[in-house]
Structure 1
Amino acid sequence: MSKKSWSAYLITEAPPEEGCEVSASDRRRFAEVPVSGWHALVLWAIGPAHVIRCLDQRVPEPIRVVCESGGQRTVRLEERTCGDRSAVESEIHDYLMNARVPSQPCGYRWFVEIPGGISDCDDLFGRFSSSLSEYRDQLMPVEEFEVMVAIANLLYQDGKKLESDR
């Protein structure tokens, strides 16, 4: 059994347009993946044949901070800090480690191929979520991963079984 690595996930120069092909020779549809440990685990279950990434060169959006004091509410925007980014990456790292999956590389935008019969990214991740919901939060990330691999195998039936190698 071979060990897969995040380095096997293709890096493209630019992100694909939402729902569009990567290139004229590649007719697959891709959608950007939300940033979370759960979504990263789904990408690991799906595997590098159906996921691409590109460097994240966007200016980070500001964070909306809401404060309430003395019955008065104030809202302000603040720039994201290295600490903010570090906290998010730490949560993703911890989730993946609990699933016994290597840490996902930082600084990338991730895109998943939308299989035939699936309308968009929400529909795709909804299939994973609804299949896992029958377990009603009884699964640890390591157990979720095994279910995710089975779902990915059903959704991406391209003649080969997706690898569940860690």
Structure 2
Amino acid sequence: MADTSATPNAWDTAQPLPGTPPDFSDRRDTIDTPKGRYWELSESGWDAMLGYLADPATLARYAETRQHQVEVKVIDSAGERTFFVPRTADDQQIIDEAANSYLRDVGLPQRPTGYRWFQRLPGDLTAKDIDEAVYAAIRDLPRNHHPAEAVPAIRAALKRLYRRRVGDGATADPLLWAGGSRSARRPVTTPRAGGRNPHLPSWLPSGRMMGPAGALRKPPDPWGCPPLHRR
């Protein structure tokens, strides 16, 4: 299922981020720039898909120069100990391949390596609002659906989200953008964890990553997608 909706490739047309991002940002943080508010896509395939399926003009990139670290926990006869080591090129290749494997599964172009990726937020919304709109759009799909089957609904939800919000100051209501009815809407629930995507490698590294400023953070979901898409 190759993507034919964006010509040229949205990764190739992404503009430089208009500003300098913080060394560390959570995916739900808002980054203010002279040209609008952005959120940073995580390294997962799921966020890469969201970034690609929205308006290509909202996508931005920034060269990755940070030195990440991985927390290693060792349990042996001497007990348990934890220490940090630099993320190696092999570690990074595994992370990138996990994301690109997911993108291939959903029929989208692979994400170039060596960059941090950002997306301009619509109006005054946040990444949480985007998540809620997307989850509402796919909540009625079978639980064992292939990730590619969700792409049309996600693309449509993001299109409505950006069309409604960019420049018009409309009131936020992610469920309405996802095609729902305010009077008949159901609460959006967090997808249940469990299982894994069989299309992705099972030998990915675990541990937490740490940016150069020492801010400890969890690694991206190694399966590259939210629990709703794991099997």
**Equivalent residue, structure 2, for 1:10:** 15
- Looking at structure 2, the residues matched to 58 and 159 of structure 1 have their Cα atoms a distance apart, in angstroms, of 33
| Counterpart residue number, 2:127 | 121
Q: Determine the structure 1 residue equivalent to 2:159.
A: 153
CA 102–78 in structure 1, closer or farther in 2 if over 3 Å, else same: same
Counterpart contact for 1:32–1:109, Cα < 8 Å: yes
Structure 1: give runs of 5+ residues left out of the alignment: 161-166
The CA distance in 2 between the partners of 1:64 and 1:159, in whole Å, is 40
- Name the aligned partner's letter for residue 13 of structure 2: A
Structure with greater strand share of residues: 1
Q: Secondary structure at the match of 1:157?
A: helix
Deviations 1:95-147 (A, max 9, x none): 111111111111111111221252x2233234323433442533322222212
User: SS of the counterpart of 1:156?
Assistant: helix
- Residues 50-89 of structure 1: matches in 2 within 5 Å? 50-60=58-68, 62-70=69-77, 72-89=79-96
- 1:138 alignment counterpart: 144
Structure 1 residues 99, 58: closer, same or farther in 2, change over 3 A?
same
Change (3 A) 1:45 1:106: same
1:45 pairs with 2:45: no
2:40 is matched with: 32
How high is the sequence identity, in percent, across the aligned residues?
21
Gaps of 5+ in 2: 23-28, 167-231
Q: TM-score, normalised to structure 2's length?
A: 0.59
Helix, strand or coil: the match of 1:109? strand
2:116 maps to which of 94, 109, 116: 109
Indicate the structure whose relative CO is greater, using CA pairs within 8 Å and at least 6 residues apart. Answer: 1
SS at match of 1:38: helix
Contact 1:31-1:114 at 8 Å conserved across structures:
yes
The 1-side partners of 2:85 and 2:46 are apart by 27
Please give the alpha-carbon distance, in whole angstroms, between the structure 1 residues aligned to 2:140 and 2:80.
Answer: 40
**In structure 2, C-alpha distance between the alignment counterparts of 1:115 and 1:13, rounded to whole Å:** 16
User: Aligned partners of 1:4 and 1:98: how far apart in 2?
Assistant: 20
Alignment match, 2:33: 22
Task: Give 2:67's aligned amino acid.
Answer: V
Is the CA contact (8 Å cut-off) linking 2:30 and 2:39 kept in structure 1? Answer: yes
What is the count of residue pairs matched by the alignment?
A: 155
Q: What is the distance in 2 between the residues matched to 1:136 and 1:70? A: 46
1:138–1:15 CA distance, 2 compared to 1 (3 A): farther
* Distance of 2:124 and 2:17 partners within structure 1: 25
RMSD: 2.6
C-alpha deviation, 1:71, in angstroms = 8.2
Comparing 136-145 with 13-22, greater Cα deviation is found at 13-22
